[in-house]
Amino acid sequence: MTGKERFFDKDFFDSGEETEARYKSYTVQSILPNFRRQARLLREHFKPSKVLDIGCAKGFLVLALRELGLEAFGVDVSDYAISSAPPEVRQHLFEVDLNNGELPFGDGSFDLVTAYSTFEYLDDLSHALREIFRVIEDGGVLHTEIGYGGYYSKAGDYLVDEYGIRLHDESYWTRTMESFGFEFLRTESGHFYYQALIENALEDGGGLKIRIGRMMSSSKLGRTMLVKYVKRTSKIGLLSFRVRKLNVE
């Protein structure tokens, strides 16, 4: 078992103490509502039929997608997380270390692949991206959530030093993805960013600038200004990429 596999164990998901680096309790009650909201956004925005969640943890997003009638699967490096998943979704989850392991699916199996806070932890990003590219159909989408430099600052330096988290800006990630054949969907990423972060902020109460921006969102200019504001003040990115296999030799 590698250091990172040990890191994503019971103490990470269910430590009993809330910290910046670990969950107090990663449960259906505490986490699933957020993933249900995310699943609705994914269905509305991308209209997928078959989804793979990379770094699925206990499979809550997979469960939420299946509740919406979508065919969804998940992979994760953590045996603890998968074995702790809800029974009704466990059969759709697979233990895979994407630093060197292969995804247990055929070529072009999915029209949407999601990866939330996953790529930062990988040692061999190139292997993972080649595998993900393989299982996405031509024209399909990779949708990611990636923490930029500073996002993990409160979690302690050991996250970077011990586990090699990749703290980079948006341009680094878009250049990297594009070098493996993924086409950055800048406009769609901004639109999803607006839907997810703004609506989440409003649901949680939001702030004055968010509320003013929401009032402006009925116009194209208002939405553009709002997305720019949120992206400028956020330390996390929601980035979407289209797969164009016909253009890859």
Residue 103 covered by a domain? yes
Residue 116 covered by a domain? yes
pLDDT value at residue 97: 94
Are 57 and 144 contained in the same domain? yes
Of 150, 166, 184, the residue at which a domain comes to its end is 184
Do strands 71-76 and 50-54 pair parallel, antiparallel, or not at all (unpaired)?
parallel
Are 71 and 176 contained in the same domain? yes
Residue 249 covered by a domain? no
Cα(36)–Cα(210) distance, integer angstroms? 23
Domain hosting 77: range is 3-184
Are 60 and 156 contained in the same domain? yes
Are 167 and 230 contained in the same domain? no
Residue 244 covered by a domain? no
For CA atoms 93, 96, 98, 104, the dihedral sign is negative
Are 86 and 127 contained in the same domain? yes
Q: Residue ranges of the alpha helices (H) in 86-169? A: 87-90, 125-135, 158-163
Residue 246 covered by a domain? no
Closest to 112 (Cα-Cα) out of 48, 54, 180: 48
Question: Per residue of the chain (249 residues), what is the pLDDT tens digit?
Answer: 444 555 788 888 888 887 666 778 888 888 898 899 899 999 999 999 999 999 999 999 999 999 999 999 999 999 999 999 999 999 999 999 999 999 999 999 999 999 998 998 888 899 999 999 999 999 999 999 887 766 655 554 656 666 667 778 888 899 999 999 999 998 888 778 767 766 665 555 556 655 665 665 556 666 666 666 655 555 667 889 999 886 554
Q: What is the CATH number of the domain that holds 79?
A: 3.40.50.150
Phi, psi of 185 (to 5 degrees): -95, 85
Are 149 and 221 contained in the same domain? no
Number of domains in the chain: 2
Residue 160 covered by a domain? yes
Are 164 and 217 contained in the same domain? no
Do strands 136-147 and 110-116 pair parallel, antiparallel, or not at all (unpaired)?
parallel
Cα(117)–Cα(31) distance, integer angstroms? 15
> What are the beta bridge partners of residue 94?
75
Are 57 and 165 contained in the same domain? yes
Are 168 and 220 contained in the same domain? no
pLDDT value at residue 1: 41
pLDDT value at residue 35: 93
Are 145 and 67 contained in the same domain? yes
Do strands 110-116 and 50-54 pair parallel, antiparallel, or not at all (unpaired)?
parallel
Residue 102 covered by a domain? yes
Are 103 and 179 contained in the same domain? yes
Are 80 and 201 contained in the same domain? no
